[in-house]
Amino acid sequence: MRSTVKAEGVLELSLVSIPTPEPGPDEVVVRVEAAPLNPSDLGLLFASAEPAAMQAATGADGLPVVRASLSPEAMRGLASRLDQAMPVGNEGAGVVIAAGSGNNAQALLGKTVSIIGGATYSQYRVMHFGQCQPLPEGTTPAEGASWFVNPMTALGMIETMRREGHSALVHTAAASNLGQMLVKACLADDVQLVNIVRKAEQAATLRALGAKYVCDSSSPAFMDELVEALAATSATIAFDAIGGGKLASQILTAMEIAASRKMDAFSRYGSSTFKQVYIYGMLDRSPTTLHRNFGFSWAVSGWLLTPFLQKAGGETVGKLRARVANELKTTFASTYARHISLREALDPKVIAAYGKQATGEKYLITPHV
């Protein structure tokens, strides 16, 4: 599958048929059996086009093509990908059906593996052995498809919390697949977690998983409940998937109120408790508004998985990957609303459905079905 931003202001999604290259000595050929449609994939796939506006066209060889127009503002931010047919799909899982001559590649032959590294919305993918994680006996490709982006992000949040000297954390859009994994991982690790959701039924989902602190931002009592949860947990770091609006600011304000309860003297510079909000998602693309009534000991920053993993180093990453592989049926289990073929993934009606990115409505591509 390819996503192309054309110079005339059109986004085109298409399927192309290309020969599978011979693997090099350290490479393997993976028959891709399953690959999830993550928000991070949809960003690359749709550029800034409206998913519901995609219209079917006729492609070469009877392969599907869909197109939508891009606004001039959107085009300005896309200059560096003009007229490049970009392969899509960050992760997935499948079976190693051929391997290069090297020992590491040969060791994977016949194995079911999870993969990371792009272009996974393909039927076959040649990859370096290091991009493959062998799965335990009995774990299927569908179970292993969402092994990296969400699970490693959840573990990366806990790891970041520890490395930066915090002892409990906050997560927003907490009912997502990722959020549910984080609830389970925090329970396993005995880390206190404050979950922020946007609907009452999402709170119930998380409580059923064992979440102790769930605050519903649509409730009139939200700020009071958040302050109490922060005071109880001493959480001073938050990971925010939403980004826009006032939620990051509300979290910092509530952290400051919780921190100032422990102060015995007035300081007009606020508490000395350092409060961090990391924005890692873009569910709301509107501006972030900070009402700076939380002193001077705070930061709002961007957070991305890849730079975190680079900083953490190979040994840590290896440990985290192995943990995920072993817990794919429990802590890191994903659920999908629907399995779709590559052709269905380019059907305008199906695109409109998965393009909504509704919580609990994640799709899985099964390229050989």
**Which residue in 249, 331, 334, 366 binds a copy of itself (CB under 8 A)?**
249
Contact letters (x/-) for a copy of itself, 78-97, by CB under 8 A? x-xx--x-x-----------
Q: Does 272 bind a copy of itself (CB under 8 A)?
A: yes
| CA distance linking residue 366 with residue 93, whole number of Å | 10
Question: 260: closest CA among 242, 241, 275?
Answer: 275
Report residue 226 as tokens. Answer: 């958040």
Whole-Å CA distances, 185 to 89, 151, 294, 340: 25, 9, 30, 29
Q: Does 268 bind a copy of itself (CB under 8 A)?
A: yes
Residue 329 DSSP class: T
**Which residue in 49, 279, 351, 365 binds a copy of itself (CB under 8 A)?**
279
Q: Which residue lies nearer to a copy of itself by CB, 17 or 301?
A: 301
Q: Residue type for 4, please? A: T
Contact stretch for a copy of itself (CB under 8 A) within 17-25, 100-108, 158-166, 264-272: 264-272
Q: Does 260 bind a copy of itself (CB under 8 A)?
A: yes
Q: Assign 77 to helix, strand or coil.
A: coil
Task: Please report how close the Cβ of residue 276 comes to a copy of itself at its closest, in angstroms.
Answer: 9
Q: Does 167 bind a copy of itself (CB under 8 A)?
A: no
Contact stretch for a copy of itself (CB under 8 A) within 25-33, 101-109, 207-215, 277-285: 277-285
Q: Which residue lies nearer to a copy of itself by CB, 141 or 243?
A: 243
First to last CA, the chain: 15
* Contact by Cβ (8 Å): 213, 146: no
| CA distance linking residue 338 with residue 253, whole number of Å | 40
Q: Does 357 bind a copy of itself (CB under 8 A)?
A: no
Q: Which of residues 282-321 bind a copy of itself (CB under 8 A)?
A: 282, 285, 287-293, 295-304, 306-307
Task: Please report how close the Cβ of residue 206 comes to a copy of itself at its closest, in angstroms.
Answer: 26
Report residue 252 as tokens. Answer: 């910092």
**Which residue in 9, 21, 43, 165 binds a copy of itself (CB under 8 A)?**
43
Contact stretch for a copy of itself (CB under 8 A) within 162-170, 242-250, 331-339, 346-354: 242-250
| CA distance linking residue 342 with residue 189, whole number of Å | 38
| CA distance linking residue 168 with residue 184, whole number of Å | 14
| CA distance linking residue 309 with residue 316, whole number of Å | 8
Q: Does 269 bind a copy of itself (CB under 8 A)?
A: yes
* Contact by Cβ (8 Å): 142, 33: yes
Q: Does 53 bind a copy of itself (CB under 8 A)?
A: no
Q: Please, what's the b/e burial string for 50-83 (b: 16 or more CB within 10 A of its CB; e: otherwise)? A: ebebbeeeebeeeebbbbbebeeebbeeeeeeee
**Which residue in 243, 348, 355, 367 binds a copy of itself (CB under 8 A)?**
243
Q: Does 71 bind a copy of itself (CB under 8 A)?
A: no
CB count within 10 Å of CB 98 equals 16
Q: How many residues bind a copy of itself (CB under 8 A)?
A: 41
Task: Please report how close the Cβ of residue 74 comes to a copy of itself at its closest, in angstroms.
Answer: 11
Q: Which residues bind a copy of itself (CB under 8 A)?
A: 43-44, 77-78, 80-81, 84, 86, 243-244, 249, 260, 263, 265-266, 268-269, 272, 279-280, 282, 285, 287-293, 295-304, 306-307
